[in-house]
Amino acid sequence: MSMAASGGEALHVRLSALLDGQAAAEERQDLEARLQEDPHAQRVHEHLARGSSRGREVFNDLLKEPVPLDLVREIKTAPQPRKAVRLPSERRFPFPLKPTARQAGTACLLLFVLGGGLGYMLGQPSAATAHPPVADTRGDWLNDIVAHYRVFSRPTDRLAELPATDSAAIVEWLLANTGVNFRIPDLSGNGLTFQGARLFVAGGTPVGHLVYTSAEGEVIGLLFRKNHPDDDGFSELIRDSIALMSWKSPTTTYIVVGPSSAASLDEIAAKAAGLI
């Protein structure tokens, strides 16, 4: 390995330690002074910082992924595990793990090199990141639906803007504002009572909302809006203990929304899809 390559790797390790807050005071002062004068060190520092930031963004995005409704139900209904029986094992004589100072130093150096290399690769511009990111409109409008449901589903004497007794006015009102032609499904066979209708905006698009309640007092919503060209399809999602089930026609997206604890949401969605 050439001296230049070794120097480059050593610089990566030192700058990685600086970014992680692991550099000693004297080392930090030396690196900060070098960053003021050395353009190469500045470029390496920027790549490492960009890579660390991108790594945190990727990890945060993974934490935001919704949990599938089927998995939640399997966890809730899973039987209790049987108690394990501990069998006797051969007696082993414990020995303490006491690495030497040289071994500990080598391990730290390896960790710094690996961390710096990963940060450098993540910080490199690629074809996927060379263009501005496209807004996730699907996530925006689903977040709006969840926020709206969380507010209006609280116990109140005014669940709907138009009452169920004026069904003709509901159809005319929502058709005029959403452009979706529909019928009000009778879901009494599923234990639901129609309460009326609401209208709100999700992702910049008007959404029609038919409001139902169950015998247990749960609020179930049947929502619809015009399809968007960039909409991603989904069938079941859970957001903050709120379950969403969706299906599409050639022109319209429909969603049944309710608490994730409601076990019959899939049956309600199937019945509504055949009636609306």
131-178: pLDDT as tens digits:
444 344 445 788 899 999 998 887 667 889 999 999 999 999 999 999
pLDDT at 95: 47
For residue 109, give the amino acid letter: L
pLDDT averaged over the chain?
78
pLDDT at 213: 93
Token pair recorded at residue 263: 């076990």
pLDDT, greater one: 1 or 65: 65
Contacts of 209 (CB under 8 A, 6+ apart): 148, 197, 198, 199, 200, 221, 222, 223
Residue 180 has pLDDT above 90, yes or no: yes
24-75: pLDDT as tens digits:
888 888 888 888 888 888 888 888 888 777 777 766 666 666 666 666 666 6
Tell me the pLDDT band of 226, cut-offs 50, 70 and 90.
very high
pLDDT, greater one: 249 or 81: 249
pLDDT at 229: 76
Arithmetic mean of pLDDT, 249-274: 91
DSSP designation for 136:
-
Counting Cα atoms < 13 Å in the Cβ hemisphere of 175 gives 11
pLDDT at 45: 80
Arithmetic mean of pLDDT, 230-241: 78
Structure pTM?
A: 0.51
Token pair recorded at residue 249: 């026609």
Instruction: Walk across the sheet containing 205-214 and list its strands.
Output: 162-163, 192-202, 205-214, 219-226, 252-259, 242-248, 236-239
CB 179 within 8 A of CB 226: yes
73-124: pLDDT as tens digits:
666 666 666 555 455 555 554 545 566 666 666 666 666 656 665 655 666 6
* Cα(86)–Cα(91) distance, integer angstroms: 14
Alpha helices in 94-236 (DSSP H): 101-123, 137-152, 167-178
Token pair recorded at residue 214: 């169950």
pLDDT at 104: 65
CB 66 within 8 A of CB 239: yes
CB 195 within 8 A of CB 148: no
Q: Which of 106-120, 231-245, 257-271 has the lowest mean pLDDT?
A: 106-120
pLDDT at 187: 96
pLDDT, greater one: 274 or 121: 274
In whole angstroms, how far apart are CA 161 and each of 165, 189, 255, 276? 12, 24, 19, 20
Token pair recorded at residue 276: 């609306």
Contacts of 36 (CB under 8 A, 6+ apart): none
In whole angstroms, how far apart are CA 227 and each of 20, 247, 253? 46, 11, 6
Token pair recorded at residue 237: 């999602």
